[in-house]
Amino acid sequence: MPYRKPELPPFVYPLDPACNLICGVDEAGRGPLMGNVVAACVVLDPLKPIPGLNDSKKLSEKKREELFELITRDALAYGIGQCTPQEIDTLNILQASLLAMRRAYLAMDLPCSLMLVDGNKLPSDLPLAAQAVVKGDALVAEIAAASIVAKVTRDRQLIALDKQYPEYGFAQHKGYPTAAHLAKLASLPLLECYRKSYGPIKRLLAARGQIG
């Protein structure tokens, strides 16, 4: 049978997208032991539909890169917001993720009527109405687009960091606590990009007699 691109199921918008600007927001990088948590906010252009949008985790790296180029070219607007490992350690990863989402919306510099957010929590101090959508990255085109932009942006950061510190393998594990990553950390110093509040890093610091 011929391959058919996966399409998102129909979603009922709280506001009519034909006469209201609606943005979607998602983040990438909550689980890794290091690096920024990156959020993206996207407003799609109804006159330039982008086929194949879906949860970034359900797409191949090649497909994410292709869609990233289409989204950043054809969307009405997009913005990227981030929180550093130091902010994550201070705020906790949930609050840092929400703050990154708020920063992504503000960076977009396009006032919208409604923000649709992946998950079940909303950023605080937003200058617009917002609604959380559980599994929104597989339901709402704007959130799916944001998930792709956030994921590709963060992956590119890790690939760049890999060139600077090739011994850590960042391009392969993307900072996640894989067995290979943890094995490398057993004999390597912890860089400033590591999140000291995360369990494996806290334990490693304790074993080395360092303050987390």
Mean pLDDT value of segment 6-30: 89
At 88-136, the pLDDT tens digits run 999 999 999 999 999 999 999 999 999 999 999 999 999 999 999 999 9
What is the distance, to the nearest Å, from the Cα of residue 135 to the centroid of all Cα atoms in its chain?
14
- Written as one letter, the residue type at 176 is Y
133 forms beta bridges with: 118
Q: What span, in angstroms and rounded, lies between the C-alpha atoms of 183 and 180?
A: 5
pLDDT value at residue 6:
52
The overall longest dimension of the chain from CA atoms, in Å, is: 60
Mean pLDDT, all residues of the chain: 94
CATH class of 1-212: alpha beta
Domain boundaries, the chain: 1-212
